[in-house]
Structure 1
Amino acid sequence: MPASNADPASDEDIVRATMKDVARAAGVSIKTVSRVVNGEASVAPDLAARVRTAVAALNYQPHLGASALRRGDGRSGTIGLLLEDVSNPFSASLHRAVEDEARARGVQVLTGSLDEDPVRERELTRVFTARRADGLIIAPVSADLGHLAGEVRNDTPVVFVDRPASGIPGDTVLSTNTVGATEAVRHLLSYGHRRIAYFGDYTKISTARHRCEGYLAALAGAGVQPDPALMIHDLHTEAAAEAAVMSVLAQPLPPTALFTSQNLITIGAVRALRRLLLHEDVALVGFDDFPLADLLQPAVTVVAQDPAAMGQMAARALFARIDGQAGAPRAHWIRTTLIRRGSGERAPDETLLHRKLSTPL
């Protein structure tokens, strides 16, 4: 017979092993296979070993939905975690803390990046609930999640992390964003800076708006009138932030200090200052810590959130609801911390700044 040019069988064409197949291969009952697969300790060691051998030989994959239906508590042993971008250091640290809490309970975490996209937010919510996740932790894209009401079952608890939301009920875990931003700008003011530029994330994001509010509150408290030319919004990448800082420093009256309200924006600002050879002259305080910030020269002063504590609190709040905790949704606040490292601890020198900016690189 001539060799076939057909593609290998697709997943749908493969006949998957069933629990009945495993039971037959191991010479045990289906109930025994179920107990071993679900991690119950009541099975004799020799029988359990036979079942595991058969599972490996047949490449048996349990059906999570069916397993949940068979469990007495109806749970799947999974939770969903929807974050803005799991590659961002803040999200990665938060994710690890949730994962650690879940692992201690024998629960698996299904994770996805939302990329500030409400369509993806709805898609991932639908996918995770279809897999019967026992609960969801969401860093919401928009403030009103009413559009998800049809995707989230009434008995599925939800916890919002990093940002508040309405439309579906849920506990919330937040950083003290406004307080932290106010502290950062007051710190710069205390060194004599009055022309302090603000570089912020998308204004549709509540944390960006709250940090801008803190910036304005600090200026108002010092009697400093904000300059719209020094306030740049809707930056979301390192490249956009770098370009924005370069542009602002090219103004006739450049700022002597920068407040960057998100870690990727801070990284972009650092690159711009180094390109202009102003990293020793323009003060900088960033919101959010980031890897190696303490090893730069100068090391970067930041208002640090505690994403690990936020993730831990979000997971514990979710598991409490899964375990039956009742009552109205609660807000949990995690304090920020100003970490002084050098970049934000310098007085303004406008004469030197103007001279450097007027000298070709």
Structure 2
Amino acid sequence: MRRSVPQWALDAAIVLLAAGEFLTVQSRVGPLVNATYLLAVAALVLRRKWPVAVTLATIPAAVSGYLWLAPLTALGTAAAAVPARLAVYSCAALMFFAAASPKSVAEARGRTADQWAAALIGPALFSIGPTALGQLARTRRELAARLRELQHSKEQERRLFVEMAVVEERARLAREMHDGVSHHVSLINMEATLLALESKDAQARLRAQRIGELGGKAVDELRDVLGVLRASGEPERLPGLSQLPDLIAASGLPVRAECTVSSGAPGLTPDIELAAYRAVQEALTNAAKHAPGSEITVSVSSCAQTSVLRIEVVNSPPTTACGAGRDAEQGNGVSYGHGLVGLRERAARLRGSVTAQPEPDGGFAVRVLLPLSARRPAN
């Protein structure tokens, strides 16, 4: 990759070259001209800070016609740095007249037309050349800046296009979920309600009512998810630790719960509370499917020293025959179901971990560790 020369090194080189040029002519001119040369060389140090003032300071050195580098450099810098064209053209005109003026009245009277033309060509190039090169450099910088702005605008446009495509896809998914899942869940809820009203068996009515309640909760959560997909934002209601008692009560399972952390505690963000809620929900679902009749212990605690939220759901071995053979999701550790996979992914996004494995007594345990956020909720 090509490496550019540092600006300070370039400025130092120019000052040294101008000083070297001054040393070649100082013996041929008087003290006054030498003073103008020294002023021009010294002023080059400040040419980037005050380009117009430095250019004016180098004009007296151009009168003698011996020293060229300092006036040329100063004029070129002014043309490249100063946006006001009138100031740049005025400096170029002064430089031209200073370089083209004859040394005496006698010399001016003695020149013929051809001599005047020849005498004006050099000063014209002397003033026009640096001005043109400086403005060319300025135009190049401006074009490069415009090109960067155009590239930035195109990148923003591309990102907006991608975001719009994501929003449209989320809306499409919301419609599909509504048309497919929400419709059938609502029908199940309705059928369960009718069964609860028409059944003569008290136990069947209770089970139907519970099915209806669970179906209603499923519809509510599905609506929240659909709201997120449609609005690309956060749902209005995020389940958290405060909803765990309702979740445990609605499960109808023999659960012994112990929660020493309250919702909204320092370090508990909505994402962490939602992950904890889903962890308990998934563990209870697995216990109901694979270990019916088992006793379940739910524990939610935090450790101040490690700043970690710990969720532990442990169930005893199943007590009914249908739960004796667990499948791979909760059995021999060969594979896990989609629920535990999703739980692991959710915890990984929060830099946490999930372990799900059989217990020595034949039960099963799901343990989740979630690091608490360093941010504190506003008072």
Structure number with higher relative contact order (C-alpha < 8 Å, ≥ 6 residues apart): 1
The answer to whether TM tops 0.5 is no
TM-score (norm 1): 0.20
TM-score (norm 2): 0.19
Larger radius of gyration: 2
Pick the structure with more helix per residue.
Answer: 2
